[in-house]
Protein backbone atom coordinates (compact mmCIF):
# COMPACT_ATOMS: atom_id res chain seq x y z
CA UNK A 1 0.00 0.00 0.00
CA UNK A 2 1.25 3.48 -0.74
CA UNK A 3 0.19 6.97 0.18
CA UNK A 4 1.26 10.19 -1.50
CA UNK A 5 1.21 13.47 0.40
CA UNK A 6 1.23 16.00 -2.42
CA UNK A 7 1.06 19.75 -2.14
CA UNK A 8 2.85 22.92 -3.01
CA UNK A 9 5.71 24.20 -0.86
CA UNK A 10 4.45 25.37 2.52
CA UNK A 11 1.29 23.26 2.47
CA UNK A 12 2.24 21.22 5.57
CA UNK A 13 3.43 17.98 3.95
CA UNK A 14 6.45 17.58 6.19
CA UNK A 15 4.42 18.13 9.36
CA UNK A 16 1.91 15.50 8.22
CA UNK A 17 4.80 13.16 7.38
CA UNK A 18 6.36 13.59 10.83
CA UNK A 19 3.02 12.87 12.50
CA UNK A 20 2.52 9.79 10.33
CA UNK A 21 6.01 8.47 11.10
CA UNK A 22 5.59 8.93 14.83
CA UNK A 23 2.19 7.21 14.73
CA UNK A 24 3.66 4.32 12.72
CA UNK A 25 6.53 3.72 15.12
CA UNK A 26 4.03 3.48 17.99
CA UNK A 27 1.90 0.86 16.26
CA UNK A 28 4.08 -0.85 13.63
CA UNK A 29 4.73 -4.56 13.94
CA UNK A 30 8.14 -4.12 12.32
CA UNK A 31 10.82 -1.59 11.49
CA UNK A 32 10.21 1.92 10.13
CA UNK A 33 12.60 3.61 7.67
CA UNK A 34 12.57 7.22 6.53
CA UNK A 35 14.55 8.34 3.48
CA UNK A 36 15.06 12.07 3.61
CA UNK A 37 16.79 14.64 1.45
CA UNK A 38 19.23 16.19 3.91
CA UNK A 39 19.02 16.00 7.70
CA UNK A 40 15.94 18.06 8.51
CA UNK A 41 13.98 15.38 10.38
CA UNK A 42 16.64 14.19 12.83
CA UNK A 43 15.11 15.83 15.91
CA UNK A 44 11.46 15.63 14.88
CA UNK A 45 10.90 11.89 14.71
CA UNK A 46 11.30 9.03 17.14
CA UNK A 47 14.84 7.71 17.63
CA UNK A 48 13.73 4.17 16.67
CA UNK A 49 13.08 5.23 13.07
CA UNK A 50 15.99 4.41 10.75
CA UNK A 51 16.81 7.71 9.02
CA UNK A 52 18.60 7.52 5.68
CA UNK A 53 19.99 10.74 4.21
CA UNK A 54 19.75 10.20 0.46
CA UNK A 55 22.52 12.76 -0.14
CA UNK A 56 25.02 10.70 1.88
CA UNK A 57 24.41 7.69 -0.39
CA UNK A 58 24.41 9.69 -3.66
CA UNK A 59 20.78 8.82 -4.37
CA UNK A 60 20.01 11.26 -7.18
CA UNK A 61 17.90 9.37 -9.70
CA UNK A 62 15.07 6.87 -9.90
CA UNK A 63 17.23 3.82 -10.49
CA UNK A 64 19.38 4.50 -7.43
CA UNK A 65 16.31 5.03 -5.26
CA UNK A 66 14.77 1.80 -6.53
CA UNK A 67 18.05 0.05 -5.71
CA UNK A 68 18.06 1.54 -2.22
CA UNK A 69 14.49 0.43 -1.53
CA UNK A 70 15.19 -3.04 -2.89
CA UNK A 71 18.40 -3.31 -0.86
CA UNK A 72 16.73 -2.14 2.33
CA UNK A 73 14.05 -4.77 1.93
CA UNK A 74 16.49 -7.51 0.95
CA UNK A 75 18.60 -6.74 4.02
CA UNK A 76 15.73 -6.50 6.47
CA UNK A 77 12.45 -8.35 5.95
CA UNK A 78 11.16 -6.81 9.19
CA UNK A 79 10.63 -3.39 7.55
CA UNK A 80 6.92 -2.63 7.43
CA UNK A 81 6.88 1.12 6.75
CA UNK A 82 9.03 3.22 4.43
CA UNK A 83 8.74 6.99 4.18
CA UNK A 84 10.31 9.07 1.41
CA UNK A 85 10.43 12.82 1.93
CA UNK A 86 10.88 15.29 -0.96
CA UNK A 87 10.66 12.80 -3.82
CA UNK A 88 11.39 15.23 -6.66
CA UNK A 89 14.46 16.65 -4.89
CA UNK A 90 15.70 13.18 -4.04
CA UNK A 91 15.51 11.82 -7.59
CA UNK A 92 16.09 15.13 -9.37
CA UNK A 93 13.25 14.44 -11.76
CA UNK A 94 10.13 15.90 -13.26
CA UNK A 95 6.46 14.99 -12.82
CA UNK A 96 6.39 12.19 -15.43
CA UNK A 97 9.41 10.40 -13.96
CA UNK A 98 8.14 10.93 -10.42
CA UNK A 99 4.72 9.52 -11.26
CA UNK A 100 6.28 6.47 -12.92
CA UNK A 101 8.29 5.91 -9.73
CA UNK A 102 5.17 6.25 -7.58
CA UNK A 103 3.46 3.55 -9.65
CA UNK A 104 6.56 1.34 -9.29
CA UNK A 105 6.39 1.91 -5.51
CA UNK A 106 2.76 0.78 -5.49
CA UNK A 107 3.70 -2.49 -7.15
CA UNK A 108 6.78 -2.95 -4.94
CA UNK A 109 4.76 -2.30 -1.79
CA UNK A 110 2.05 -4.77 -2.80
CA UNK A 111 4.58 -7.45 -3.70
CA UNK A 112 6.50 -7.14 -0.43
CA UNK A 113 3.67 -6.23 1.95
CA UNK A 114 5.04 -2.76 2.73
CA UNK A 115 3.45 0.57 3.44
CA UNK A 116 5.27 3.32 1.54
CA UNK A 117 4.46 6.98 2.09
CA UNK A 118 5.94 9.70 -0.10
CA UNK A 119 5.86 13.49 -0.03
CA UNK A 120 5.83 15.33 -3.33
CA UNK A 121 6.06 19.09 -3.82
CA UNK A 122 3.65 19.56 -6.68
CA UNK A 123 0.12 20.69 -7.38
CA UNK A 124 -2.25 17.79 -6.59
CA UNK A 125 -4.62 18.96 -9.33
CA UNK A 126 -1.88 18.33 -11.92
CA UNK A 127 -1.35 14.70 -10.90
CA UNK A 128 -2.42 11.91 -13.20
CA UNK A 129 -5.53 9.91 -12.35
CA UNK A 130 -3.35 6.90 -11.48
CA UNK A 131 -1.44 8.93 -8.88
CA UNK A 132 -4.56 10.71 -7.58
CA UNK A 133 -5.77 7.31 -6.36
CA UNK A 134 -2.93 7.34 -3.80
CA UNK A 135 -3.27 10.93 -2.55
CA UNK A 136 -3.99 11.48 1.13
Query: Topology of domain 2-132, per CATH?
Result: Rossmann fold (3.40.50)
pLDDT computed for residue 93 by the predictor: 81
The domain ranges of the chain are 2-132
- Burial profile 66-81: b = 16 or more Cβ within 10 angstroms, e = fewer: bebbeebbeeeeebbb
**Model pLDDT for residues 51-104, shown as the tens digit of each residue:** 999 999 999 999 999 999 999 999 999 999 999 999 999 998 889 999 999 999
pLDDT computed for residue 113 by the predictor: 95
Q: What percent of the chain has pLDDT over 90?
A: 90
**Model pLDDT for residues 13-55, shown as the tens digit of each residue:** 999 999 999 999 999 899 999 999 999 899 999 999 999 999 9
For residues 74 and 84, what is the distance between their CA atoms, to the nearest angstrom? Answer: 18
For residues 113 and 98, what is the distance between their CA atoms, to the nearest angstrom? Answer: 22
pLDDT computed for residue 119 by the predictor: 96
Which pTM does this prediction carry? 0.95
pLDDT at 132 over 90: yes
- State the average pLDDT over residues 97-116: 96
Strand partners, 24: none
Amino acid sequence: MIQVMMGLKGSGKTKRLIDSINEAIASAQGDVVCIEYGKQLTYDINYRVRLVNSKEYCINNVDKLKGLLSGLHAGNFDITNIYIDNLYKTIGADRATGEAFILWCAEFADTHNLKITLTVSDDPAAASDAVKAYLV
